[in-house]
Structure 1
Amino acid sequence: MKLYIKYMVSLRCKMIVKEELRKLGLQAVSIDLGMAEVPEQIPDEVLRQLARNLLNSGLELLDDKKTILIERVKNLIVETIHHSNELPSVNFSDFIAEKLGYDYTYLSNLFSTVKGITIQQFIIIHKIERVKELLLYDELNISEISYKLGYSSVAHLSNQFKKITGLTPSYFKKIKKMRTVNLENM
């Protein structure tokens, strides 16, 4: 039985889900972002208890098919941008449609209707969050980050970064360094 879980976006969330399943005597076959699979059908009372336990940890067990599909789109994007070393070699639209087995236009319309932003906007927001993370790590320069995240140029990345954050990547990095210096002087 597959369980779809909202707000499950990190390794810590995976550990919480695994532990909650274990407490209820359930063994997970697999646990991915937004989804856990158990080999057997779960009785309704146990499912309700799992839902309550997950809610106490800030997670939500989903049962509506459209909501589940939107969460799968979101989790696929988050997993791809934040947790994999390589972005897909095809367009994100083709990648998402292929991975989820749905027509991209359908997914896009559903996502926009429910979330109020397009899938493309959601991807850009997460790419910029990943850029900020990589800038803070200070292991890659802006050109390497641009390449890693599939931007056509450093200028394109910089323009999107400024549009979303209001700052240039170099100024964002400078603020981080100034903050570090200020903390060290305390």
Structure 2
Amino acid sequence: MKIFIKFDFTQICTRVIDEKLEELGIKYRMLNFGEIEFLEDVPSDKLKAFDLILREYGIEKIENQKVILVQKIKDTIIEMVLNTDDTVNVKSSVYLSEKLGHSYGYLSNVFSEVTYTSIENFIILQRIEHAKSLMINTDLSLTEIAFRLQYSSVAHLSTQFKNTTGITPTTFQRIIAKRRALSDNKN
């Protein structure tokens, strides 16, 4: 038997961090996702223990300010892509600038300097990943997915999908359908 699971990485990470800080007896508060304020001086041995525990889960503390900003940009883009139902169709540059309090030019330069790719490419990758997730986990049509992800047309979604994955969305849907059929036949 095979089941499909949807992950909320934000919730998982927040829960792990909450549990581990509680276990270590460290007083804190969550400011934003990925941003914690310690409410007291934390001994270095507890900080080291916390770092080691987080690494076991693939989570690490960021200390470089540019890397921190890039992570905030990525988190904001993911939030923007996942919550397209709730947002008015606003340019991503305006959305990022308003959310992060920096000019888009500055955000773009820092992002490119740290990641060696552009914000636009990262947005496309996230939108395509979300489109794939919607194709796998919902019965939405390509038109509905294109609309939900704020593409101007299905053709635009299809072009970006093929440029990113190497196959068309329709081919991807056929592959998923065949895998499901094979999986159903095994059960």
TM-score by length of 1: 0.87
> In the alignment, which residue of structure 2 is the partner of 1:4?
none
**CA deviation digits over 1:67-100, x for unaligned, max 9?**
1111110111112223563345321111111111
Question: Structure 1 CA distance, aligned partners of 2:80 and 2:34?
Answer: 13
8 A Cα contact 2:161 2:169, kept in partner: yes
Comparing 38-47 with 50-59, greater Cα deviation is found at 38-47
Question: Structure 1 CA distance, aligned partners of 2:13 and 2:83?
Answer: 14
Question: Structure 1 CA distance, aligned partners of 2:87 and 2:115?
Answer: 23
Structure 1 residues 1-186: aligned runs within 5 Å: 9-30=9-30, 32-82=32-82, 85-186=85-186
Question: Structure 1 CA distance, aligned partners of 2:158 and 2:56?
Answer: 40
State the percentage of identical aligned residues: 36
Once the two structures are TM-superposed, the CA of residue 19 in structure 1 deviates from its matched residue by: 1.0
8 A Cα contact 1:9 1:34, kept in partner: no
For these two proteins, the number of residue pairs brought into alignment is 179
For residue 185 of structure 1, give the secondary structure of its aligned residue in structure 2: helix
Once the two structures are TM-superposed, the CA of residue 26 in structure 1 deviates from its matched residue by: 2.8
| Structure 2 residue ranges without an equivalent (≥5) | 1-7
Distance change >3 Å, CA 61–CA 83, structure 1 → 2: farther
8 A Cα contact 1:131 1:145, kept in partner: yes
CA RMSD, aligned part only? 2.0
Paired AA for residue 109 in structure 1? N
8 A Cα contact 2:146 2:157, kept in partner: yes
Paired AA for residue 63 in structure 1? E
For residue 61 of structure 2, give the secondary structure of its aligned residue in structure 1: strand
For residue 130 of structure 1, give the secondary structure of its aligned residue in structure 2: helix
Question: Structure 2 CA distance, aligned partners of 1:130 and 1:76?
Answer: 15
8 A Cα contact 2:162 2:169, kept in partner: yes
Distance change >3 Å, CA 103–CA 41, structure 1 → 2: farther
Question: Structure 2 CA distance, aligned partners of 1:164 and 1:111?
Answer: 20
Question: Structure 1 CA distance, aligned partners of 2:41 and 2:120?
Answer: 36
Distance change >3 Å, CA 185–CA 9, structure 1 → 2: closer
